[in-house]
Structure 1
Amino acid sequence: MKHPHNIRRAFHKEFSDWRVWSSRGLVVAFAAAAGLTVVGFTWLAEQAFDLFEALCRLAWWAPLLWTPLSTAGIVWLTRRYAAGAGGSGIPQVMAGLEPSTPTEQLGLFASLRLSVAKILLTAGGFLAGLSIGREGPSVQVAAGVMLSARRWLPERTTVTAHGLLVAGGAAGIAAAFNTPLAGVMFAIEELSRTPEQRSSGLLMAAIVLAGLMAVSVNGNATYFGIIHAAGIDLSLLLPGLLVALLSGLAGGLFSRLLIASLSGTATDRFSRWRGRWPIWFAAGCGLAVAGLGLLTGGAVIGSGYGHTHDMLAGHDHTPAMFFSFKFIATWLTAWSGVPAGIFAPSLAIGAALGNDVAQLLNYPHASALIALGMVGFLAAATQAPLTSFIIVMEMVDGHAMVLSLMACAMVARTVSHVLGPPLYANLALVQLQRLPGARSL
């Protein structure tokens, strides 16, 4: 027989235990710290890229020397001092969340030391002029900050290391994109592996708080601004379906390339060179990215924020073949081994694809196809359609495109899933091989 709810007993249980409230206070405090850390990381990355652009203004040929040397230096520092900071950062957090990962080994994947290294090395990638994003690295940075809270938590707390990693990783996405709702969905879709029933409300509150810290500093504006999409009617159906299919194919190919390049299972000549001479290989990738940057007038370097913003605003000054060159530059950057994310570059690649389709079909409302290309390519590359949909949805002025964006994300993800397995889950398996005693897959 179910006992009736006793308000007095429930009140006493909720407010009498100091451990509960100290745990909550610590989680909230570290969530705020994680959000502010990502804000500082964003500022540092932007300053680093501004310095690179200043270098380019001084001498147009400088990237041909600076970029390969810097890329080689970043990879050497990463491999020598912070192996766990390489790559995106999302696979590390997912590896830490695997049930097979011992709690005492979580520092291999997320820690304050790795967070500091990730910030400095990723900012170095912006300073080097690579095609790079900071959103994936923000996941590992915030996860490391949140995980450090466990040493201060009281004994017998209900907040676990798993919960802190989930909250920290999702807080990184929320703060990086200024979209708290996307952080919550990222936690559900990509990071969460087991239910945290007793503390889920607290952890979700921590994710939202970290995102709101970014909002309080940067203002209530989305990463790429507001998309003013017009002409959302039946005339969008065929062009939109074409964008969904093409972005699914392109994103699926991009994901397959990254898995083959970064998993260490490929046997081609370039992969053998990477395994034998990783520093020289990184320099070669940096030289190739610098060459693409010069060929496109600097369009493909950095996150692609400026060109994506211009396309959305209708000021299309992107060079011909921007889609292809940005695709290749982002792949080469990741392949080089530097700490680098793909979220913002993927949005830029998708935006270019949508813009190209609009020009090809002479479609009068290019912004709608650009938005669909952004959500489609990101959903296909990451196979996280709901997170991708919410990130782009929060940029759209009004709700006319919500169903179109959701449909595009699901179609593109389905096409990508046919072409290959999920990107981050496979790269997380590679990270698990760093555990002591792990056997090669």
Structure 2
Amino acid sequence: MRIVAQVLGGQERDGATMSDVSPHLHERDPDVVASVRRELVDARAWLDRTVLLVYAGLAGLAVVAFTWLSEAATELFMRGYDAAPWAVLVVTPALTAAIVGLTRRWAAAAAGSGIPQVMAALAADLTPAQRQRLVSLRLAAAKVVLASAGLLGGLSLGREGPSVQVAAGVLHHARRWLRRGSALDEHALLVAGGAAGIAAAFNAPLAGVVFAIEELSRRLESRASGLIIAAIVLAGLVAVSVWGNYTYFGSIRVPELDASALLPGLVTAVVSGLAGGLLARVLVASLQGGPDAISRWRARHPVRFAALAGLGVAVVGLASGG
């Protein structure tokens, strides 16, 4: 009997029997029924979950509204361009200057794509006030209005990055209704919100889950990971229910190719890569600024510089036939 006790993990001692070992093993068995009962009667935990899922649905609706508004603005611009092409020389610079002026005065953190702001807000050393300046309901509303105004002016803007900041601002607001010490802290809400924006913007809930894991957070909190994923999928499903199950990037039909397309294809790839790299260098230099006269003038007169940039965009659009 001692050998049996040793096999089962007991200590070899005088008088050890199966009856000495079995009760100890039974005491370590998890009480599944009691665990489920505690989970079901924890009303506050269910309230937290309900709050998160409600806000996830609202985040999806916010991105849907942003999508509708941006597409309406683009369509309105194209109608105006078809009716009076030369009007863009006035409308585009005026709206660009107005957007920059309003952004700098009322919503500085609404500038940029939106993804860097959310990733910066995930820093653990930020105070709540500092995080509030990067993601909030007010910034989400400003992002929707300003980005749509840019599209109305014919600027080359995308709504995917802004959608991340919009949804993150909505879900971050849910912290006001969660209990103190909840597993759904600010970090979890920002991860869920940013990924929900991707899921709703691209009509792809699973893409939002991948984005949450790979980009916004290198880990998902074990206590809340399932609920976070549910919130991301819910936000994406809200967009799917409105727009239908369409493919965001469409479908590509590649024609039959032969060896004659090899050289043109290679030249196109090289030229496109060089042009993209040059554009990236110019953008980085523009953001960093410099000691040159143009950078100094831009720093002193940002609104005027924005008007000139808008005029340049209008000229390029006219020269390229719209």
Q: What TM-score, normalized by structure 1, do the two folds share?
A: 0.62
- 1:81 is aligned, of 69, 94, 106, to 106
Question: Is residue 2:180 matched to residue 1:155?
Answer: yes
In 1: Cα distance, 2:74 partner to 2:226 partner: 38
| Residue identity matched to 1:291 | V
Aligned to 1:128: 153
| Residue identity matched to 1:36 | L
Aligned to 1:34: 59
Q: Give a deviation string over 1:291-318, Cα, whole Å, max 9, x none.
A: 11101121xxxxxxxxxxxxxxxxxxxx
| Residue identity matched to 2:56 | A
Question: Is residue 2:321 matched to residue 1:297?
Answer: yes
Aligned to 1:335: none
Question: Is residue 2:322 matched to residue 1:279?
Answer: no
Aligned to 2:116: 91
Aligned to 1:344: none
For 1:7-86, list aligned pairs within 5 A: 7-86=32-111
Question: Is residue 2:231 matched to residue 1:206?
Answer: yes
In 1: Cα distance, 2:294 partner to 2:45 partner: 54
Unaligned 5+ residue runs, structure 2? 1-8, 10-24
1:270: how far off?
2.9
- 1:186 is aligned, of 211, 217, 229, to 211
In 2: Cα distance, 1:14 partner to 1:244 partner: 57
| Residue identity matched to 2:307 | A
For 1:135-284, list aligned pairs within 5 A: 135-229=160-254, 250-262=275-287, 264-284=288-308
1:97: how far off?
0.5
In 2: Cα distance, 1:273 partner to 1:74 partner: 19
| Residue identity matched to 1:165 | L
Say if 1:255 and 1:191 are closer, same or farther in 2 by CA, change over 3 A. farther
SS in 1 for 2:85: coil
Q: What TM-score, normalized by structure 2, do the two folds share?
A: 0.84
Say if 1:130 and 1:22 are closer, same or farther in 2 by CA, change over 3 A. same
**Alpha carbons 2:213, 2:220 under 8 Å: kept:** no
**Alpha carbons 1:48, 1:126 under 8 Å: kept:** yes
**Alpha carbons 1:19, 1:157 under 8 Å: kept:** no
1:207: how far off?
1.0
Say if 1:267 and 1:171 are closer, same or farther in 2 by CA, change over 3 A. farther
Unaligned 5+ residue runs, structure 1? 299-441
SS in 2 for 1:39: helix
Computing the radius of gyration from Cα coordinates, the structure with the larger value is 2
Say if 1:11 and 1:37 are closer, same or farther in 2 by CA, change over 3 A. same
In 1: Cα distance, 2:279 partner to 2:195 partner: 23
**Alpha carbons 2:191, 2:216 under 8 Å: kept:** yes
| Residue identity matched to 1:64 | L
1:197: how far off?
1.5
| Residue identity matched to 2:158 | G
Say if 1:15 and 1:230 are closer, same or farther in 2 by CA, change over 3 A. farther
In 2: Cα distance, 1:231 partner to 1:100 partner: 55
1:182: how far off?
1.7
**Alpha carbons 1:22, 1:154 under 8 Å: kept:** no
Percent of matched pairs sharing the same residue: 57
Q: Give a deviation string over 1:219-247, Cα, whole Å, max 9, x none.
A: 00022322234669999999988877766
**Alpha carbons 1:115, 1:142 under 8 Å: kept:** yes
| Residue identity matched to 1:225 | G
In 2: Cα distance, 1:260 partner to 1:80 partner: 24
In 1: Cα distance, 2:40 partner to 2:109 partner: 40
In 1: Cα distance, 2:298 partner to 2:130 partner: 27
* Range 225-234 or range 167-176, more displaced: 225-234
| Residue identity matched to 1:295 | A
| Residue identity matched to 1:173 | I
**Alpha carbons 1:111, 1:145 under 8 Å: kept:** yes
Q: Give a deviation string over 1:105-136, Cα, whole Å, max 9, x none.
A: 21100100111111001010011111111111
In 2: Cα distance, 1:232 partner to 1:214 partner: 37
1:259: how far off?
2.8
Q: Give a deviation string over 1:232-266, Cα, whole Å, max 9, x none.
A: 9999999988877766655444444333322x343
Aligned to 1:425: none
1:149: how far off?
0.6
SS in 1 for 2:126: coil
1:47: how far off?
1.1
SS in 2 for 1:70: helix
**Alpha carbons 1:142, 1:168 under 8 Å: kept:** yes
Q: How many residues align?
A: 297
Say if 1:253 and 1:10 are closer, same or farther in 2 by CA, change over 3 A. farther
Q: Give a deviation string over 1:22-53, Cα, whole Å, max 9, x none.
A: 11111111111101110111111111112212
* Range 220-229 or range 111-120, more displaced: 220-229
For 1:316-331, list aligned pairs within 5 A: none
SS in 2 for 1:294: helix
SS in 2 for 1:61: helix
